[in-house]
Amino acid sequence: MLEQLLIFTRGGLILWTCKELGNALKGSPIDTLIRSCLLEERSGAASYNYDAPGASYTLKWTFHNELGLVFVAVYQRILHLLYVDDLLALVRREFSEIYDPKRTVYNDFDETFRQLRMEAEARAEELKKSKQMVKPVNNSKKQGQAQKAGFDKGNKKREGSSAAGATKKGWFSSMFQSIAGKANLEKGDLEPALKALKDRLMTKNVAEEIAEKLCESVAASLEGKKLASFTRVSSTVQAAMEEALVRILTPRRSIDILRDVHAAKEQRKPYVVVFVGVNGVGKSTNLAKVAYWLLQHNVSVMMAACDTFRSGAVEQLRTHARRLHIPIFEKGYEKDPAIVAKEAIQEATRNGSDVVLVDTAGRMQDNEPLMRALSKLIYLNNPDLVLFVGEALVGNDAVDQLSKFNQKLADLSTSSTPRLIDGILLTKFDTIDDKVGAALSMVYISGAPVMFVGCGQSYTDLKKLNVKSIVKTLLK
Amino acid sequence: MEGMEQWKDQLEQLKIQLEPWKIQLEQWLHQAIEYLDQIPPIQLYAAIAVLFISTLLLFSIRLFKRTKSNTIVLTGLSGSVEMLSNVILSQLITFLTLFPCQLRDGSSHQGTVTSMEPNEGTFVLNSESNKKGKIKPVHLVDVPGHSRLRPKLDEFLPQAAGIVFVVDAVEFLPSCPSVSEYLYDILTKASVVKKKIPVLICCNKSDKVTAHTKEFIRKQIEKEIEKLRASRSAISAADISNDFTLGVSGEVFSFTQCRNAVTVADASGLKGEVAQVEQFIREHVKP
């Protein structure tokens, strides 16, 4: 059964809920949907799964972009309700007829909804039967039925169904359209512009999967919208994409490490940063850069050499420590890195260091034993910041690296609330010219902000990410 | 190649169609020049001067008017962690204004969810709705505080006459660092500092017993901003950079050091005690 159906504005005001269903939802699936799906540019996806203690819902949604409305249906995950998409489309069509921005109560919609629901349920039932009887024809039958329903409603127009009508038009009519403003954007109008934009993003080294998802999300937010006069479809799409990119790259959490360091200092606790990442991305080098940056701000730093796996790693870190005149905690090789880190933190508490920078061994995301060791290190020491060090050179692999790291940290952790990656440090940023796509891929997939950008060989080559210039480069 | 030829054909046809128009136009032009020759030059100069002065006047009025905007930006943190949802903001708007009427008694209003877009509208203040004479409506913009939507604030700040920064007075302490950081970001924005846009820190839910006083909240935010000043000193490229720095170096920060006026007020959205907020809006949006 359907748990709930809501209609609300993009501004956040609920216009109508189904009182008949009236089940109190467990947790807050709607707010979670908005925060972790719609605002994260994942609205192109088909559905969203929400888990809370005692509840597992699936949510489906559709937009009416011209009026700025959102329609969300919630149902239990174990039930595969076939009619939800259909019902949402019907509700959208009917509701947009009676919508008035000045009105906030729509009690008269109850009756309409009851009818629509019965209609949709009956159709799903019929579909099920016909599926059992003749399997191969069911697809065409479904289409036929959908069309029939459209005609049943008589003179009411059915939106978005004529996407196939994207034909070639003369230059004069297209110019006239750009001056007068087009009635409503349809999927067919958006497709060429989105395809071009996707290709452009991919030449900037954005992972293909992510470029695809972003374009879907932008399409979902534009479909049905009115094109303003004197604008082209491509520039509208570009503006929407720019807004989406700025939104993604804007950090969700505070990236002010220094303030957190000072807060930890007040509690007489060292601030612990763990650097993780795959092999050869520059973990140790950038750890040294961060140490130098902290020293500039009069913060006492200690390094912990927890790369007990690769030969020469401890010596490399020791060289950095000597050059920067900061203490280093080391226990040689063949030790459990989790224990070394724990001892290092104890040592830092004793000698009053403000920050402990923990260097770990580079590991491929598929290396099970090493990933388990990392998970143990993080679980045992509960660091304040888990910094993922990633190369800016990486393309499609960025998605795999970050999602697997996050996945493994969650899976292998023994606690119920696993620590995931808090921030990203992008290295080798000076070598990529305008191919800045890795920054976008990594932030999109993990939701963690880019804390620093490494852009050179010397200790001073550490920067903050400039969101505006990245977005500009991506869309150039 | 075929397309090119087709295009050429079209162009030819267009030219033929336009031919009579062209002749007509030339005739008119000729007539106009003849007419101009008959008018004495002094009259012509006078006409040009009048035209010039009136355009100048119009432009200056435009410029003068633009500085007096009637936009008030409402913002604050949102999210379950910070425990200040947009419900409170919408309640505040409701009590400040007459719109939407149904919302005011709360019975017929269905609740709210997280905002994805700013809400805006032009309203007449509630207390002045039955006053006679000239009333200037206020343009209120409610910008969601969700961190992903913060870039939206930049769109509205250049036209803002004032900013109302809403703080939850009950759940204040756990959210103090993030609230202060958001306020710091607003106070250091170039558009705010240069135009000296006044900021009102509105401590909502003051009717609750457990609510903190506005003086306490002001002091806590000042303390927190003092810490932020230290961490945002911007001595290297790896620091977070803001357009401006706050306060006077070597002194403990207080809001009086800001170039724009920062005041604190109590309010209760639930009970409709928003007199101080109304006063603030009236001060900066003159009727």
Q: Rounded to the nearest 10 degrees, what angle do helices A368-381 and A397-412 cross at?
A: 60
CB contact under 8 A, B113 and A34: yes
**What CATH number matches the domain at B69-284, 1.10.730.10, 3.40.640.10, 3.40.1400.10, 3.40.50.300?**
3.40.50.300
Sheet harboring A385-391: ordered strands across?
A: A328-329, A301-305, A355-359, A271-276, A385-391, A423-427, A450-454, A462-463
CB contact under 8 A, B113 and A12: yes
DSSP per-residue letters across A184-205: ---HHHHHHHHHHHHHHHHHTT
Q: pLDDT per residue over A24-46, tens digit each?
A: 777 788 888 888 888 888 888 88
Q: pLDDT per residue over B176-202, tens digit each?
A: 888 898 899 899 888 888 888 899 888
DSSP per-residue letters across A292-320: HHHHHTT--EEEEE---SSTTHHHHHHHH
**With contacts defined as CB-CB under 8 Å, which chain A residues touch B151?**
246-247, 250
CB contact under 8 A, A39 and B115: no
> Is residue A242 predicted with pLDDT exceeding 90?
yes
Pick the residue of A259, A290, A430, A470 with the most B CBs within 10 A to test the interface with B by mutation.
Answer: A259
A141: pLDDT confidence band, cut at 50, 70 and 90? very low
Q: In this complex, is the C-beta atom of B23 within 8 Å of any C-beta atom belonging to chain A?
A: no
Considering chain B, tell me which residue range(s) the CATH 3.40.50.300 domain(s) occupy.
Answer: 69-284
Residue of A nearest to B99 (CA): A102
CB contact under 8 A, A102 and B100: yes
Q: In this complex, is the C-beta atom of B63 within 8 Å of any C-beta atom belonging to chain A?
A: no
**With contacts defined as CB-CB under 8 Å, which chain B residues touch A5?**
none
**With contacts defined as CB-CB under 8 Å, which chain B residues touch A105?**
102, 108-110
B173: pLDDT confidence band, cut at 50, 70 and 90? confident
Q: What is the pLDDT of residue B158?
A: 85
Asked if B98 and B123 touch (Cβ cutoff 8 Å), the reply is yes
Q: What is the pLDDT of residue A332?
A: 87
Between CA B271 and CA B269 the distance in angstroms is 6
CB contact under 8 A, B237 and A463: yes
| Window 339-398 of A, Cβ < 8 Å to B | none
Plot region of A373 (φ>0 → left; ψ -120 to 50 → alpha; else → beta) = alpha
Q: In this complex, is the C-beta atom of A254 within 8 Å of any C-beta atom belonging to chain B?
A: yes
Q: In this complex, is the C-beta atom of B146 within 8 Å of any C-beta atom belonging to chain A?
A: yes
**With contacts defined as CB-CB under 8 Å, which chain A residues touch B145?**
none
A275: pLDDT confidence band, cut at 50, 70 and 90? very high
What domains can you pick out in chain A, each with its CATH number? Answer: 2-152 (3.30.450.60), 171-249 (1.20.120), 257-475 (3.40.50.300)
- Pick the residue with more confidence: A338 or A55? A338
Closest CA to A250 of A438, A39, A406, A392: A39
- pTM of structure: 0.79
Q: What is the pLDDT of residue A200?
A: 93
CA distance A10 to chain B (A): 5
Q: What are phi and psi of B269, to 5 degrees?
A: -65, -35
**With contacts defined as CB-CB under 8 Å, which chain B residues touch A289?**
238
Whole-number percent of chain A with pLDDT over 90: 37
By CB neighbour count within 10 A (0-12 exposed, 13-18 middle, 19+ buried), where does B62 fall?
A: exposed
**With contacts defined as CB-CB under 8 Å, which chain B residues touch A463?**
237-238
Helices (H) and strands (E) in chain A, counts: 16, 13
- Pick the residue with more confidence: A26 or A218? A218
Q: What is the pLDDT of residue B156?
A: 87
Q: What is the pLDDT of residue A214?
A: 92
CB contact under 8 A, A297 and B231: yes
Q: What are phi and psi of B79, to 5 degrees?
A: 120, 150
Q: What is the pLDDT of residue A21?
A: 67
